Structure 1
Amino acid sequence: MSIVVHDPPTDSFAVDVLDPAIWSRRGEALAMERSHQHDDLELNFVLRGRLDYLFGGEHISVPAGHLAMFWGATPHRLIESSYDEPGDSCWLHIPLSTVLRWGLSTRDLNEVLQGRPVIVPTGAAGRDVESMFMCWMRELEDEDGETIALIEAHALVRRLLGYHRRSTGHATALTLAGTGASESMQRVTAMAQFIVAHFREPVTTAEIADAVHLNTHYAMSLFRRSVGTTLGDYLTRCRVSEAQRLLLTTTLGAIEIAHAAGFGSQSSFYAHFTRICACSPGDYRARHR
């Protein structure tokens, strides 16, 4: 059951940017020609078959009986799989601005913003997940139903993150509370969003801080305290993820990829890529294509 990535179309270099929106649907997953990104928390539930994603530059598989949850800001696309059974999956999108009002713990927000899917068995939901998604599809058609669906989705997200935290041995973090904490997390998320939108450019930490109207030192401290990594490392990881994607979906050379992903020099690209991926860009392309 190997994953198959077809030769991309000529415009595969581009990434479609979708507007955030609340919606849910069910059906068979179809391979996408281009990656897209969106400022939503995305939940996938696989009833039958398997979902295969190219997530940034990494292959991610979600088997039947599992839920995947991730922030859609990382470019991603469904790719064709040789799985021999017709698929059946459910999707739910919730704008990140809505999720931020839920008062999640800093640990959970770190999981949401880390740029990699959280994948757990459906038993972690503690409910009949298929029935929930079917209800949401009906309820999201009207305003009153949307409120109910979001309350249930909020509970589901907390259960999934709690299960993931326990299964990975992470300690419980304090929940953010109060207006000040809420405003701080809005600033943190705004910084993450700014990085995702501008990492291909020669952006600096001062520019990131200025974008959210904060002192540079305070912005760096707030981001690290809230997300668990530095602004610089988050920026670098976005660039490496983009480089991985381009290595797999284009025939661009290393110099072109370094420039397209936002690295200031080829040496910087090689150093950061090797540190994070534990192999050179050339080796990465050879192993995964």
Structure 2
Amino acid sequence: MTHSVTFGKEDGPFYFQHIQRSGSFERTNHMHDVYELYYLYHGERMYFIKDHAYLITPGDLVLIKRRELHATADSDKLGHERVVMNFSESFLGSATVEIPYLLDAFAQGTPVLQLEPAFRPTVEAIFQKMMSEIKEPLLGQHFLLRQYLIELLLLTARYVRMHPVQAPEHLSPLHEKISKIVQYINAHYMENIRLEDVAERFHMNPTYVSRMFKRVTGFAFVEYIHLVRIQEAQRLLATTTIKVIDIADQVGFGSLVQFGRVFREICKTTPLRYRRASRM
């Protein structure tokens, strides 16, 4: 059974969804050009972000940076209630200039903030105001939603200054091993990375690496390599004037044709169109 309140599009300037699920929910993988905030009210979820797996429990606030690879999945306990928000800097308007530390919480050593119980009602009250505005929209709806988001970001920026956070320990030795493999890929994506070579480097069986990599990260081995390469290609397209053919080579693709095909599959557009759109 599922109950939800949704506003906007996931890839738009602002997206909000509050959802309650009573059973299993299939794993979802993401990489997008917007920031993401995820708050868990009840239940448990597994989250893989960048190169680390996390068990998310009630009161945890997850902060995902732009273009950061992440995946969610069921834990052993099924059923959960959460809020997820995606937003672009353009939605915040001039707020990031007026409040330069507004996005500080996204720059911490860990993307997961385990909020103290006394702080949770303050955060949940902001989500409640957003839901009320979405359910009964009145004049100035977008303005109020932006103000509530700014209030939340400001509170999280204050929170991380008063409560220094550290990355949690790995959930198991297997998670730690897969994390090291992910870190290796993140550092060597521009090279010709083969599953067999990686398995040998980490003294593991290739079939086992493939199966466990998928289980822990949510991504197939080759899929993850492609996503990391496209992630860097997006950055280069948006911030440099390097030719597309040179970017394809620089991020590790064997040919321009392969680069174009994978880029379209992931980004739903061509590299040149992405470059133009990123500069509008």
TM-score norm. by structure 2 comes to 0.50
TM-score norm. by structure 1 comes to 0.48
